[in-house]
Amino acid sequence: MSKIQIIKDKCTGCGLCLKACPVDAITIVSKKAVIDLDKCTLCKACLESCKFDAIEVKEQTKKGKDLSDYKGVWVFAENSNGIVVPVVFELLNKARQLADELDTEVSAILLGHKVESEAGKLIQRGADKVYLVDSKDLGHYISENYTAKIVDLIKKYKPEILLAGATTTGRSLAARIAVKCYTGLTADCTGLEIDKDKKILIQTRPAFGGNIMAQIISPNFRPQMATVRHKVMPEAKPDTARKGEIIKEPFDSNDIDSRIKFLDFVKEAVSTINLAEADIIVSGGRGLGSPENFKIIEELAETLDAAVGSSRACVDAGWIPYSHQVGQTGRTVCPKIYIACGISGQIQHLVGMQSSDLIIAINKDPEAPIFKVADYGIVGDLFKVIPLFAKKLKETLNR
């Protein structure tokens, strides 16, 4: 905290500070400046304007929390129906790299019901320890209950870094944990590394619509927290010879948030192929013209045994569910083949798919930004190109 004050003996009441103050926090009383501390934001504009050195700002440093006890890199091992989701294996790979640089260990937090069999997979993928909380009360994800238990574990074991996938579950959980632990959180990261001098986590994520990559740090708070986009990092390869420790932690039913009760989970009827896991994705954009025209995208995807993707414009227009959206505010994907049909290629979309192994773009505008990242570009009417493309594929596949 800082303290600002007027030195009465030096103040002449000239009014220069009054004019400089952007929040109208200074008045002149009896030819002396008076600062309203409730309005003052300590911007120090008045300090710079004063020609008589009549304003003084005293910096008061508050002793921070001792961070030396915080050790280890933790990964939230999200699971779906008792099976660990793939983004966790990506996080374990990166966590192993970060931990090696910090000369510490990797731990996974696994919560759920009848999930003990998954603990071994986490060890094979790089975890040195697995904190297992297995309870029927945790069978269905309820953010308040999961948050309460993980915060207890953080207070008990003090990790210096906590990573989670930038999934629907990960985003809702990480935000709540950060608030409870009074620490920072960087969402939707695409890169993580260790500052070799300060030994702190540098978290990289797109900012300003993806036009710049921001690097964010939390040097004074622990744990340092980040959610990481799926498919931006390689998975850790399983090593069946790895050994680790499974630490079973109890869950007290008294910690259940009584305000919330699980009733049912209604799964959205989407393509049978998971967009994030697909090897081939065919995506449609506003160039399709109408929701009915997504049929040609679906037919091409069916021919290729591919998933159907979409740009944000189509989702916003209500042509296709959000679960198909690829981009900064949708899914980050990294298929072997990505076919963009009628998508101009704004930076927000490119952030979500530009790491694909092979990109094919179909667009009638030869200046469309999508062609700058495409390996193969077809300039033409998609309503003519896609049916011909699908026809040739069927002929080739049926040979």
> For 76-90, what is each residue's pLDDT tens digit?
999 988 899 999 999
Mean pLDDT of the chain, nearest integer:
88
Measured distance CA(306)–CA(318) in Å, rounded:
22
Tally of CB atoms within 10 A around 64: 9
CA dihedral 65, 67, 72, 76 (to 10 degrees): 20
pLDDT at residue 126 in the model: 92
DSSP-based three-state secondary structure for 287: helix
Q: With bands split at pLDDT 50, 70 and 90, how would you rate the model's confidence at 231?
A: confident
**Does the pLDDT value for residue 233 go beyond 90?**
no
Q: Which amino acid type is present at position 55?
A: I
**Does the pLDDT value for residue 272 go beyond 60?**
no
Q: Is the dihedral of CA 80, 83, 87, 91 positive or negative?
A: positive
Is the model more confident about 240 or about 258? 240
pLDDT at residue 65 in the model: 67
**Does the pLDDT value for residue 46 go beyond 80?**
yes
Measured distance CA(362)–CA(373) in Å, rounded:
12
pLDDT at residue 276 in the model: 74
Q: Each residue of 282-332: pLDDT tens digit? A: 999 999 999 999 999 988 888 888 899 999 999 999 999 888 999 877 888
**66-70, 93-97, 214-218 — which one is most confidently predicted on average?**
93-97
Q: Point out the least confidently predicted range of 20-34, 45-59, 250-264, 293-307.
A: 250-264
Once rounded to an integer, what is the mean pLDDT over residues 159-165?
96
Once rounded to an integer, what is the mean pLDDT over residues 363-372?
92
pLDDT at residue 393 in the model: 82
Q: Point out the least confidently predicted range of 163-167, 211-215, 268-272, 352-356.
A: 268-272
Q: What angle do CA 88, 92, 93 make, to 5 degrees?
A: 120
**Does the pLDDT value for residue 334 go beyond 90?**
no
Once rounded to an integer, what is the mean pLDDT over residues 128-135?
94
**51-60, 105-114, 384-393 — which one is most confidently predicted on average?**
105-114
272: left (phi over 0), alpha (psi -120 to 50) or beta: alpha
**Does the pLDDT value for residue 229 go beyond 80?**
yes
**Does the pLDDT value for residue 211 go beyond 80?**
no
**Does the pLDDT value for residue 63 go beyond 70?**
no
pLDDT at residue 158 in the model: 95
- Which helix (H) or strand (E) segment is 203 a member of? strand 201-207
pLDDT at residue 230 in the model: 83
DSSP-based three-state secondary structure for 97: helix
pLDDT at residue 3 in the model: 83
Q: What residue ranges define each of the domains in the chain, with the CATH number in brackets?
A: 2-59 (3.30.70.20), 73-255 (3.40.50.620), 275-397 (3.40.50.1220)
Phi and psi (nearest 5°) for 295? -60, -40
Tally of CB atoms within 10 A around 84: 21
**For the chain, what percent of residues have pLDDT higher than 70?**
94
Q: Each residue of 101-130: pLDDT tens digit? A: 999 999 999 999 999 999 999 999 999 999
pLDDT at residue 377 in the model: 92
DSSP-based three-state secondary structure for 336: coil
pLDDT at residue 64 in the model: 56
pLDDT at residue 398 in the model: 66
Q: Point out the least confidently predicted range of 61-65, 229-233, 272-276, 370-374.
A: 61-65
Residues 6+ apart with CB under 8 A from 272: none
pLDDT at residue 256 in the model: 81
Once rounded to an integer, what is the mean pLDDT over residues 266-292?
79
